[in-house]
Structure 1
Amino acid sequence: MRLNYLIYFLTIFSINFKFGLSQLDDDLICPNEALTEYLTNLLDILFSNGLTTFEQLLVHYSENDLGYEFLNDLYNSNQKLTLLVPTNQAFNEIGINSPFIGLTEDRGMELGELHLLQGDWTSGSLPQLGHGIASTSLLIANELNQTDSKSNAYQAVTLEKGNDNSIIIDGWWGNSTSWNGPLDLSSSNGLLDNLMILPIDQVLSFPPSLSTALQSPGLTNMSSALNVIGKSQELEQLTENGFTIFVPLDSVWDENVKNLMTDSNKAMKIIQNHYTRSYTLFSPGWTGSDSMILTVESGEQLIVSNKQDGSNSVKFGDIEANIIRSDITLNNGVMHIIDKILFPTSSSNSSETPTSSIPSTAQPTGTTSASIPDGQDTDKDGGKAVIPDASGSSSASKSQVSVQLLVCVFTFWFILFR
């Protein structure tokens, strides 16, 4: 069965080779049979662990140019990568199955890149409390290229330590949990040394837009406030730096704040105290030290602190708000939920801690918590969040990559079966 599968995989390459040969340069450098051997070992590992839908998805990638590019980049990566592989059941639950008829070429590759993390991520590499933030291999500009940005910002995912060496990927539509540790790759005899393969129980979804996130119960006042000052679209526009926004719970928007919002100058200042478009700040950016200073859109400075009890806060002047949930990854940015308005009002010094109707995921002891209920993202272009922590690697054009792979795999096939 495995030999027949390999023959099918190689036949796909050889069929396309016949039509692409005329495009080759005489001095083309070929990675020879090593690429095919690498992919064959990867398919065998997936098959032997029952992850056959993802295995078939990789074969599907070999049938189009963007897929060739993804497979080639996977093989040629000089850094360690963590491949999150959804189980067959996870794919089946969202209707993605072979022969992948409804999966377009663009979306198919983006799905693969979304599940390919830069770096070696294990339970042991994550903090006991809080989150780790991993860049995927999905470059924002791949899909949301609606501006002139030449961003090297990547889609980010939030990771938490689970039980028994597992990892929890904290997503907007729900959490995905890994198996208890990565797959054993020893049978590949070192060919897959640049990979760690971590099976997960859900297919990752693209994060929603900010406007969608702010329709969640308990957060809608911020949506109204952004519309009042006319900054919703500006904040969501694709940029290299993304954005960071601190969103107060609805329960803290009292009459004092609402009265201030009727003054256009004060309204602008109030809302711009809560976000910046200069940087996408995830919690590891401030938990590694006692505090950090973040300049926001109003020109004011916020102090974001990691407190001794494990909780986090953001301070503006004498006002200190608890961060009751951090690292909510959005389209082109990140959202943190707080329990105070970052602007002086007559009720700013109230000692009462507001609560949220939003249920919670696990948070450090001593913090009020909040989470986001399931919903539907109405942004037809899909969602991405950015973290500018890696540079894009140069690669050949799609046609060059695909033809190069075809020639090399054809050569290896000829050697094996002549």
Structure 2
Amino acid sequence: MKKLTKIIGIAFLSLTIFSCSSDSDSQPTIVDIASGNSDFSTLVTALNRTGLTATLDGSGQFTVFAPTNTAFQNFFATLGPSVTVENVDVDVLKKVLLNHVIGSEIKSSAIPESTYVSTLSPFSTATNAPTISMFVQKSGNTVTINGGSSNGGTTVTTADLDASNGVIHVVGNVIAIPTIKNHAIANPNFSTLTSLLVAQGLVPTLDGTEGSPFTVFAPINTAFDTATLALYGSLDSTNKTAVLLYHVVGGVNVRSNAIPAGNITTLQGQTFSITGTSIDDAGSTVNKNIILTDVQCSNGIVHAIDKVLLPNLN
């Protein structure tokens, strides 16, 4: 009787495993879902042109923010009147596509109010280059990427198309590769800094490639307390620019695991030093701390800090 019970148990276990395996095998992959939806025909063509079809049709788990045909048409129109999925530079297309892919499955229910995730789009062509960051926000059932369409981002229109190797979230716009400016605007915690950069005419610097890559130590809103804003407001325009540029290091993309020892020279010309997560600036004795690291942009990287850095001012 014990032997018979054991045999029945093994048989039941085998049947269960077979059944689960069959369910998994029958579930469509990300590519299967895209190929079966006529509104993703441009996406499927783009995946084929860039050699990414095999990746998103294989094993592993991915989250794909999938632009519709209309979204791609609008994107290609910004590149030129005759640009299509068939003739756009394939390297540009691949980088843009990878900017829509996360290397793990993230259902909409698992998205917090705001978070950074890493896409699969490389920052550069260097071996093992870091990948571009994505800022994801959720308010109610609305999921916004990189600050929305007005900032080169997008909004999810349909969430949670479940696949055997991940999930698809349909989006209404192609997501542009974000610059430092885009990431600063996207995150409401940088709104004070962004407004000051706009007032001093420095936004084009952090949106371009001249002098890039940049490493920016960006104060969050609470860093600009009453005393700091009063001090900043008392400065002339030249010194205001000096304070802001003191937060920017030019010509390097310094990730948190590679911050050098010793003095770091800023675009303003003076230096500061970092020990662990603590910053020693030139103009004060108050501790400044790095509280968020490695927001990777197309033209550099952002680390958030909890207080404003001050150079020695005239």
CA distance in 2, matches of 1:209, 1:105: 24
In structure 2, what is the equivalent of residue 333 of structure 1?
A: 300
Shift of 1:85: 0.5
Q: How many residues align?
A: 249
**1:366-406, Cα deviation, whole Å (9 max, x unpaired):** xxxxxxxxxxxxxxxxxxxxxxxxxxxxxxxxxxxxxxxxx
1:137 to 2:110 alignment: no
1:208 to 2:185 alignment: no
TM-score of the superposition, structure 1-length normalised? 0.45
1:82 to 2:80 alignment: no
CA distance in 2, matches of 1:94, 1:163: 28
1:154 to 2:131 alignment: yes
Shift of 1:121: 1.7
Partner SS state of residue 178, structure 1: strand
1:100 to 2:81 alignment: no
1:354-373 aligned within 5 A: none
1:182 to 2:160 alignment: yes
Partner SS state of residue 84, structure 1: strand
In structure 1, what is the equivalent of residue 215 of structure 2?
A: 243
Structure 1 gaps, min length 5: 1-36, 143-148, 186-192, 286-293, 306-315, 347-418
1:73 to 2:55 alignment: yes
> Is this contact kept in 2: 1:118–1:134, CA < 8 A?
no
CA distance in 2, matches of 1:296, 1:175: 36
In structure 1, what is the equivalent of residue 103 of structure 2?
A: 118
CA distance in 2, matches of 1:339, 1:42: 41
Shift of 1:120: 1.5
In structure 1, what is the equivalent of residue 145 of structure 2?
A: 169
> Is this contact kept in 2: 1:136–1:154, CA < 8 A?
yes
CA distance in 2, matches of 1:278, 1:140: 10
In structure 1, what is the equivalent of residue 202 of structure 2?
A: 223
Taking a change above 3 Å as real, the CA distance of residues 273 and 90 of structure 1, as seen in their structure-2 partners, is: closer
In structure 1, what is the equivalent of residue 43 of structure 2?
A: 57
Q: Which amino acid aligns with 1:126?
A: I
CA distance in 2, matches of 1:278, 1:208: 13
2:94 is aligned, of 97, 103, 109, to 109
> Is this contact kept in 1: 2:154–2:175, CA < 8 A?
yes
Q: Which amino acid aligns with 2:53?
A: L
Partner SS state of residue 107, structure 1: helix
Shift of 1:317: 3.8
More strand by share: 2
Shift of 1:84: 1.0
**1:193-247, Cα deviation, whole Å (9 max, x unpaired):** 2221111122101123669989x763143839x99xxxx955x23xxxx734326
Taking a change above 3 Å as real, the CA distance of residues 301 and 107 of structure 1, as seen in their structure-2 partners, is: closer
TM-score of the superposition, structure 2-length normalised? 0.57
Q: Report which structure shows greater RCO (CA 8 Å, sep ≥6).
A: 1
